[in-house]
Structure 1
Amino acid sequence: MLDRDQLETFATVVEQQSFDRAATVLSITRGAVSQRIKALEESLSTVLVKRERPVAATHAGEVLLRHVKALRILEGSALQELTPTAKPHAPVSLAIAVNADSLATWFPEVLKELLMGQLVALEVIADDQDHTSALLARGDVIGCISTSAKPADGFLAECLGAMEYRCYATPAFASTHFPSGLTVPAVLSTPAVLFNRKDSLHDDFLKRHFGFAVERYARHYLPSPVALLEGVAMGAGYGLIPSWQAAPLVEAGQLVDVCPNEREMVDLFWHHWDLEPPMASDITALIVKVARNSLEPSVGFEPSTAQTGPSPSRPSGHKAEPQGGASGQEASEQQ
């Protein structure tokens, strides 16, 4: 049996990324924190944390951190089920990672049900999908939305559906800059609005449209789905926007589709623990249900099965492309 105090101390050190901060959170001395970590590592015969700045979990530590997170969720679920009429128990703290465009479109329906249920204290981390998978592997989150179809060992990837993107601009911008449509000379002389420097969706769209890569064009970077939409709507440039998000402005005549015969379909996947506690399983079921009611069906994926396959890079969602022990303990623990 693993010692629960040692487990909680280990998890707190990793979460706080510091022995000193963990000691403050746990209201014990820093020496006690160090002793508990060493005792836990000795009992498992493996190094669990890298004594660096900041402190980080080793691969073995990541496995153990997921175990501690699962224990917390199980315990919280059990207390809420065993004593539902007693004084309210503290909500179970958990974190999930979601891509930005999902947060701006269909995911708020999930948040409403989770937050209003008052059973969880939820942390939503918005990040690039390449990084959300890393958050899940480290045990920082219980699940993440990604464009990668391939789950890591010990995880499942549920196909959620596809998000449609179209290339929009204001009518005035389109008539001024694209009088003959989307041509190479027009693209080279016209600013596009992108999410950030990791955003390759626009490059992919242009490559597919022209049949070759187009790289030397002006770009505005607005790292928020709302800011990106507003940038296009004010006439600062043109860009790829989820059609669901742009629909009200299109209906009002404020935006037009620059390439009405073309669209980008981005498959999204929910990655989660293979063996997850009931509360986490309920969250997975909720996310899958809302996504499949909101997104378009993915082409080439069975919605009820975990998938394996490739991965790309945009914080909002992307077409799938190919993915690509500690030492000096006491001296380095001065974090």
Structure 2
Amino acid sequence: MLDSKQCQAFLAVAETGSFEHASLQLHLTASAVSLRVQALERQLGQMLLIRGRPCQTTPAGEQLLQYLQRQRFMEQNFLQNLQGKQANSEFIKVVIASNADSLATWLLPSLQHTVIQQQIALEIRIDDQSLTHALLEAGQAHACISVEAQPLRGCAAKALGYMRYKMVATPTFIARWFKHGVSRQSLMQAPAVIFNQKDHMHQNVLLKLHGLTANSYPYHFIPSSEAFVHAIHRSLGYGLVPDLQLGAALELGELVEILPEAQTDILLYWHHWQQQSTPLQQLTQQICQNSQRFLHPV
């Protein structure tokens, strides 16, 4: 049997990144936390942490971390089902892993009613839509929005709909960089706007359509959905924008779709643990219904 206090110490260090921060969280001395982690490592016969700044988990430590995080979520769900609310709060905490574009557009309107009615305290964790399911697998989220169709073991996945992206730029930008049309040569010169280093959608499109690799054209990294669109509106570059964020910009001529064949539809899925509390069940039901108002149908 694993010792609960030793596991608690390990979990605190793994999540905070240091023995000092873990000691503050647990109201212990750093040396006491260290002794508990060492005792757990001796019991398991494995090094669990690489001591550093910050501390990092070894492969064995990562397995234990995922196990303990899942166990914590299962306990939270059990208590919420049994008691209705957490003992020290009127609110139920729900962690959702989401891509930034969903959070900036349709996610909160889809959840609004249940969040208010069920007194849910949301914690949204942002990552690329191809990586959010890893947070669910690691036990760091109750549910996630992902492009992965296959559910994890112990989880269920439901298709929500397609998020559509269009390649756009301002007339001013087009007049400067694409005055002779959008071609392979002009794309090699014009600056693009890309969300961050994990966002491969833009480079995949240019590689497919024009054979351009990511190092063959200039680009800005703008890691905020709202600032990303503002950058394009300010003629800093061109980029793939969700149609939910375009509004009337195309109709008003503020933005122009420069490469219609670059239109990209990303199918999003809602992943959640099969064992859900009643509020989480209602949250799942609502997001599956309301996402159809915003996303393109499957």
- Same fold? TM cut 0.5: yes
The aligned residue for residue 206 of structure 1 is 206
The aligned residue for residue 79 of structure 1 is 83
The aligned residue for residue 62 of structure 2 is 58
Alignment TM-score, normalising by the size of structure 2? 0.81
Evaluate the alpha carbon distance shift between residue 146 and residue 264 of structure 1 in structure 2; reply closer, same or farther with a 3 A threshold. Answer: same
Gaps of 5+ in 2: none
Q: Is the 8 A contact 2:136 2:142 kept in 1?
A: yes
Whichever residue aligns with residue 173 of structure 2, its letter is: F
The aligned residue for residue 329 of structure 1 is none
The aligned residue for residue 286 of structure 1 is 286
Evaluate the alpha carbon distance shift between residue 279 and residue 55 of structure 1 in structure 2; reply closer, same or farther with a 3 A threshold. Answer: farther
Deviation readout 1:17-63 (Å, 9 max, x if unpaired)? 445433433335557656777888899x6869536442544314412
Alignment TM-score, normalising by the size of structure 1? 0.73
Q: CA RMSD of the aligned region, Å?
A: 3.3
Evaluate the alpha carbon distance shift between residue 10 and residue 156 of structure 1 in structure 2; reply closer, same or farther with a 3 A threshold. Answer: farther
CA distance in 1, matches of 2:35, 2:182: 65
Evaluate the alpha carbon distance shift between residue 68 and residue 10 of structure 1 in structure 2; reply closer, same or farther with a 3 A threshold. Answer: farther
Q: Is the 8 A contact 1:14 1:49 kept in 2?
A: no
Which stretch of structure 1 is more off in the superposition, 29-38 or 128-137? Answer: 29-38
User: Quick check: 1:190 aligned with 2:171?
Assistant: no
The aligned residue for residue 306 of structure 1 is none
> Secondary structure in 2 aligned to 1:198?
coil
Which stretch of structure 1 is more off in the superposition, 147-156 or 236-245? Answer: 147-156
The aligned residue for residue 325 of structure 1 is none
State the number of aligned residues. Answer: 292
Q: Is the 8 A contact 2:115 2:283 kept in 1?
A: no
Q: Is the 8 A contact 2:149 2:269 kept in 1?
A: yes
- The offset of 1:265, in angstroms, is 0.7
Bigger proportion of residues as helix: 2
User: Quick check: 1:169 aligned with 2:169?
Assistant: yes
The aligned residue for residue 217 of structure 1 is 217
Whichever residue aligns with residue 213 of structure 1, its letter is: L
> Secondary structure in 2 aligned to 1:153?
coil
CA distance in 2, matches of 1:51, 1:214: 36
Evaluate the alpha carbon distance shift between residue 241 and residue 50 of structure 1 in structure 2; reply closer, same or farther with a 3 A threshold. Answer: same
CA distance in 2, matches of 1:217, 1:234: 19
The aligned residue for residue 323 of structure 1 is none
The aligned residue for residue 247 of structure 1 is 247
Evaluate the alpha carbon distance shift between residue 111 and residue 276 of structure 1 in structure 2; reply closer, same or farther with a 3 A threshold. Answer: closer
Whichever residue aligns with residue 164 of structure 1, its letter is: R
Which stretch of structure 1 is more off in the superposition, 74-83 or 274-283? Answer: 74-83
Evaluate the alpha carbon distance shift between residue 171 and residue 138 of structure 1 in structure 2; reply closer, same or farther with a 3 A threshold. Answer: same
Gaps of 5+ in 1: 299-335
Whichever residue aligns with residue 109 of structure 2, its letter is: E
Deviation readout 1:70-90 (Å, 9 max, x if unpaired)? 21233134323799xxxx834
> Secondary structure in 1 aligned to 2:283?
helix
Amino-acid identity (%)? 33
